[in-house]
Amino acid sequence: MDSSNNRMLKKLIVVAVCMFGFGYAMVPFYYRICQVTGINAGDEQALAENTQIDKGRWITLQFDANTNPSMPWHFRPLQNSLKIHPGQLVQAEFEVENMSGSKITGQAIPSYGPALAGRYVKKIECFCFSQQSLMGGEKKQLPVMLVLDPRIPKDVNTVTLSYTFFKVEDGKAQNG
């Protein structure tokens, strides 16, 4: 019985080593298949020029930051405005600091000026998508990545993106 267990153990070890080797070899094999077939060609796609950018037009994108009066946070944009082409991918940074001595969770709510601009602001990444928790005295930089849809009306030359942070308790925003 002992030699039978020994053979079984050897077979299991060989199978485990083969599976590990196969898994290890799959990564370069996968990349080679993708290269040959053009599947998942993310790098090449990222380098392609965005043909949706309206280079004949400029829009000023202004940033505004506010906190509800009950929030002991200091919140500001790191740049007040950007001059962009509609369709251009842009990133802006905001800074928030908890001025209290204790942990506070907040949620940023966006608003737009003019109001119709909200239909044309396409956020890819935004701190407003989730609640933000800061320890007492903690400071964070918060990114927003967006594209202004090129179909925005031609008479709109300035868009204001405003955020207001509200205190969140028990999963619900508090207005004061």
97 & 70 share domain: yes
156 residue type, one letter: V
Whether 54 is in a domain gets the answer no
29 & 65 share domain: no
67 & 144 share domain: yes
Strand partners, 97: 74, 139
Domain span including residue 7: 2-46
Tally of domains within the chain: 2
Q: What distance in Å separates the CA atoms of residue 126 and residue 108, rounded to the nearest whole number?
A: 10
Q: What distance in Å separates the CA atoms of residue 84 and residue 42, rounded to the nearest whole number?
A: 25
Q: What is the CATH number of the domain that holds 117?
A: 2.60.370.10
CB 90 within 8 A of CB 53: no
Whether 71 is in a domain gets the answer yes
pLDDT of residue 45: 42
Q: With CA atoms as reference, report the closest residue to 60 among 93, 37, 94, 86.
A: 86
Secondary structure letter of residue 124 according to DSSP: E
Which residues does 110 contact at the CB level (< 8 Å), separation at least 6? Answer: 118, 126, 128, 161, 162, 163
Q: What is the distance in angstroms between the CA of the first residue and the CA of the last residue of the chain?
A: 76
CB 142 within 8 A of CB 134: no
78 & 41 share domain: no
Whether 18 is in a domain gets the answer yes
Q: What distance in Å separates the CA atoms of residue 119 and residue 148, rounded to the nearest whole number?
A: 9
The per-residue pLDDT string of the chain (176 residues; one tens digit each, 9 = 90 and over) reads 577 778 888 887 876 665 655 555 555 555 555 555 555 544 444 434 455 889 999 999 999 999 999 899 999 999 999 999 999 999 999 999 999 999 999 999 999 999 999 999 999 999 999 999 999 999 999 999 999 999 999 999 999 999 999 999 865 555 54
Q: What distance in Å separates the CA atoms of residue 63 and residue 68, rounded to the nearest whole number?
A: 17
What are the backbone dihedrals phi and psi of residue 163, each rounded to the nearest 5 degrees, phi first?
-125, 140
pLDDT of residue 52: 82
Assign residue 137 a region (left: φ > 0; alpha: ψ between -120 and 50; beta: otherwise).
Answer: left
pTM of the predicted protein model: 0.68
154 & 67 share domain: yes
Strand partners, 104: 134
